[in-house]
A and B are shown apart, each in its own frame.
Chain A
Amino acid sequence: MPVFALLVISKAGSLIYHRTLPTSTSASTSSSGSQPATGTLGLPGTTSLTTNDYLVLAGTFHGVHAITKNVTPKFLANSASSSDHPPAPTTNGVTGKASSFRYPIPDAPVTGIESLESSFFKLTVFQSLTGTKFLLFTDPSMPNTDGLIRGIYDRFADHVCKNPFWHIDNPIRLDGWERALNQFLFRR
């Protein structure tokens, strides 16, 4: 199971759940065997990571996510002569009277990072409509991470959001959620 870790970040940017998964199988099957000793995340650098480091990472990512949404390229709406992107007037691309512009894909909503690739891992991000972000660290070769993260979101909705003892944006310490997650990730 080449899933390294799951992080859940609240809409305020704080880490509300963090779990690293044992990756004994992935170290032997997915990598070329050249990696040094694997840590908790199955990655060489994570042996020394503390909970505090994860909190910092979550906060950093929250900010970066907002910036990546902001730096989306914008084109002049009237220069839409490119054949690749037929001009589609949309409420999405127009903000004011003076500066009317459009985004590269006018029909799609503008989001922050949806996936990130590095040499050793792939990060898939899913942001729910309420702003909660799910970060799934997997092996770069792992297929269908979008489906996986949707499944995790389903479990989150059922076992966390619907739990009356959980208050929104509080850290998640719920046995039912852990069980559902285990079942979903390991017995699929």
Chain B
Amino acid sequence: MVVFAFYVFDRHAECIYKKRWQDALPGAPATSLRPPSQSTVANAPAPARQSLKSDDDAKLIFGTVYSLRNMVRKLGGEDDSFLSYRTSQYKLHYYETPTNIKFVMLTDVKANSMRHALQQIYVNIYVEYVVKNALSPAEHPGGIGVDNELFEASLDVFVERVLNTQPPDPRA
């Protein structure tokens, strides 16, 4: 299984964290604002984290999951929750916390349900390093975002060691 991208949106529809692995968005050079975290996996090039305002794919992703979430709620009732969708090229997983923080992950199509993994990221990484961080702002106006070394490093480790190294699907 391969993780392509990861996004966090706060309750004001602001993208507060975004990370893409092995990325090549045309027109957006793969430069990072800060020195990239130490990558443990050889096949992952330098992580490409652009400035949050520079491109629009996060907005598109948010619009998509927001629309689909509302559609699912309308059809399935208030208790229903949007879990994932799949195209021929990728699969998008969605997890929303009770406080309306939205976690979105793009993986390859063979991935199983990532609901549990996203919940783990929320509980073990986001809450630990962002929510419990006294210096971290409660709200993120203007797209400052989660600018936190520990969060980024832990997320990187989680994705590279736990998710990307799961045994491949036998059907693959």
A residues with CB within 8 A of B: 36, 41, 43-46, 49, 53, 57, 60-61, 63-64, 67-77, 79, 81-84, 95-96, 98-99, 101, 103-105, 108-121, 137
Q: Are the C-beta atoms of B24 and A67 separated by less than 8 Å? A: no
Q: Are the C-beta atoms of B2 and A108 separated by less than 8 Å? A: no
> Other CB < 8 Å A-B pairs besides A45-B77, A60-B71, A74-B25, 6 of them?
A44-B80, A46-B76, A57-B74, A79-B22, A99-B27, A104-B90
Query: Among B57, B72, B85, B108, which residue has the most Cβ atoms of chain A within 10 A?
Result: B85
Q: Are the C-beta atoms of A49 and B74 separated by less than 8 Å? A: yes
Chain B contacts of A115 at CB under 8 A? 85-86
Q: How long is the Cα–Cα vector from A114 to B106 in the complex, in angstroms? A: 15
Chain B contacts of A57 at CB under 8 A? 71, 74-75
Given contacts A67-B64, A119-B80, A121-B76, whether A72 and B22 have CB atoms under 8 Å apart is no
Q: How long is the Cα–Cα vector from A120 to B80 in the complex, in angstroms? A: 6
Given contacts A110-B88, A119-B76, whether A68 and B64 have CB atoms under 8 Å apart is yes
Q: How long is the Cα–Cα vector from A73 to B108 in the complex, in angstroms? A: 10
Distance in angstroms from B106 CB to nearest chain A CB is 6
Say whether chain A's binding surface is mostly helix, strand, loop, or mixed: loop
Chain B contacts of A36 at CB under 8 A? 77
Contact digits for B50-91, partner A, Cβ 8 Å, 1 yes 0 no: 000000010011011001101111111111111111111110
Q: Are the C-beta atoms of B89 and A118 separated by less than 8 Å? A: no
Chain B contacts of A77 at CB under 8 A? 24
- Residue B45 is within 8 A (CB to CB) of chain A in the complex: yes
Chain B contacts of A49 at CB under 8 A? 74-75
Beta-carbon nearest neighbor of B57 in chain A: A71
Q: Are the C-beta atoms of B22 and A119 separated by less than 8 Å? A: no
Q: Are the C-beta atoms of B60 and A67 separated by less than 8 Å? A: yes
Given contacts A60-B71, A120-B80, whether A73 and B87 have CB atoms under 8 Å apart is no
Chain B contacts of A61 at CB under 8 A? 71
Beta-carbon nearest neighbor of A4 in chain B: B75
Chain B contacts of A44 at CB under 8 A? 76-80
A-B contact pairs, 24 of them (CB 8 A): A43-B76, A44-B79, A53-B74, A64-B63, A64-B67, A67-B60, A67-B63, A72-B90, A73-B5, A73-B20, A75-B23, A76-B24, A79-B22, A81-B43, A84-B108, A98-B26, A104-B2, A104-B109, A108-B88, A111-B87, A117-B85, A117-B113, A118-B81, A119-B83
Chain B contacts of A101 at CB under 8 A? 24, 26
Distance in angstroms from B55 CB to nearest chain A CB is 11
Distance in angstroms from B2 CB to nearest chain A CB is 6
Query: Among A41, A75, A110, which residue has the most Cβ atoms of chain B within 10 A?
Result: A75
Q: Are the C-beta atoms of A103 and B81 separated by less than 8 Å? A: no
Chain B contacts of A69 at CB under 8 A? 87
Chain A contacts of B77 at CB under 8 A? 36, 43-46, 120
Chain B contacts of A103 at CB under 8 A? 89
Given contacts A75-B22, A114-B88, A120-B77, whether A83 and B71 have CB atoms under 8 Å apart is no
